[in-house]
Amino acid sequence: MKLYRKRKIDAIGREQTPPNITPDGVWQYAHDPQATRDAGLGAKVREAPRAEEPFDADWLGWFYARVTDQFDLSRKSLHDTHQWVITLSIGLVTAVLVLPSQSSPYPNEFGLVAVLASFPLLFRFFVRSCLECSIQYKWMEIRNALDRYFYLQDAPPEIRSAASRHLRETIELFYFDWKSPKSLWAIVRENLQLAYGWPFLIAIFGIAWGARTLSMSPLLGFVAWAVVLFMIYEIIAFVKYSGFNRAELLLERGKELIQEAQQEGEG
């Protein structure tokens, strides 16, 4: 297993040097986040005290503005997607339950076809919301690390050094490697609570009601199989998307370093 990528460039364009590893496999210095992750969860990481090179002030100002803009954009996109799914749910209920005549109320064949055909669209909105939610958390973690770095500039050198390392690791994880600060299932649960729990229940109830009441026709069979195959493909692609890979372990390590430095400074 590779423990270090030969050429590694950090956020300000400085090439990093490989860490030192003792014969017993204990890391003396772990500046490269990828090397820390590849070493495994059981690796012993010890940060060697050193003076962190400061970030370029102009670059930090530009980067902070970019991060803020992207965070606002992802939050707006998430809000818009939630509004779309509410509109879709209201339109579906109106079309299926209100518009049919009294002589042919739901469940009927064309109503069930409409519910089946709309379910992949509902799931597509859900996938997009999960993506936007994950992206929003990425930018939020980066901005929090930037705020912490600026806030601690008047702190003792040890704390400033820890904040600088934490910021570099955060940028590496969530900007360059595009990892997620939250797990996929946490993002799924959050979006179900925010907007999608009730629409999914309505759609599933409508499909179950229609399937139990109506006999299978060639049209229903074709639509049902098409929806099932498409949903299988969507779910597999959704679960395997690399942007949902969680990278909270190293992030928490960075926060611990700042807390340790603060405790040492107070001591």
Residues in the chain: 267
Condensed to tens digits (0 to 9), the pLDDT of residues 10-48 reads 444 444 433 343 443 333 333 344 443 443 333 333 343
25: left (phi over 0), alpha (psi -120 to 50) or beta: left
> How many Cβ atoms are within 10 Å of 71's Cβ, its own excluded?
18
Question: Are residue 130 and residue 16 in the same domain, yes or no?
Answer: no
Give tens-digit pLDDT for 208-246: 988 898 888 899 999 999 999 999 999 999 998 888 888
Q: What is the pLDDT of residue 253?
A: 57
Angle, alpha carbons 196-200-201 (nearest 5°): 120
Which residues touch 112 (CB under 8 Å, ≥6 apart)?
Answer: 106, 206, 207, 210, 211, 214, 220
Residues 215 and 123 both lie in one domain: yes
Regarding whether 192 and 86 lie in a shared domain, the answer is: yes
Question: Do 36 and 155 lie in a common domain?
Answer: no
| Residue 13 shares a structural domain with residue 103 | no
State whether 15 and 129 are in the same domain.
Answer: no
pLDDT of 257 strictly over 70: no
Is residue 115 classed as helix, strand or coil in its secondary structure? helix
Do 37 and 15 reside in the same domain of the chain? yes
Sequence-distant (≥ 6) Cβ neighbours of residue 217 within 8 angstroms: 109
Alpha helices in 98-108 (DSSP H): none
- Shared domain check, 103 and 31: no
Same domain? For 113 and 79 the reply is: yes
Counting DSSP H helices and E strands in the chain, the numbers are 8, 0
CB 221 within 8 A of CB 130: no
> 225 lies in which domain range?
57-266
Contact between 232 and 225 (Cβ < 8 Å)? no
State yes or no: cis peptide before 107, omega within 30 of 0. yes
* Number of domains within the chain: 2
pTM of the predicted protein model: 0.70
Q: What is the largest CA-CA distance in the chain?
A: 82
Report the pLDDT averaged over residues 186-201: 93
Looking at the structure, tell me whether residues 90 and 68 fall in a common domain.
yes
Distance separating alpha carbons of residues 2 and 18, to the nearest angstrom: 12
Same domain, yes or no, for 13 and 30?
Answer: yes
105 and 192 part of one domain: yes
Look at residues 11, 26, 48 and tell me which one is the last residue of a structural domain. Answer: 48
Q: Which SS3 state, helix, strand or coil, does residue 247 take?
A: coil
Question: If you average pLDDT over every residue of the chain, what do you get?
Answer: 77
Q: How far apart are CA 232 and CA 245, in angstroms?
A: 20
Q: Which residues pair with 180 in a beta bridge?
A: 246
Q: Which of 145, 146, 160 is nearest to 62 (CA)?
A: 146
CA atoms lying within 13 Å on the CB side of residue 236: 6
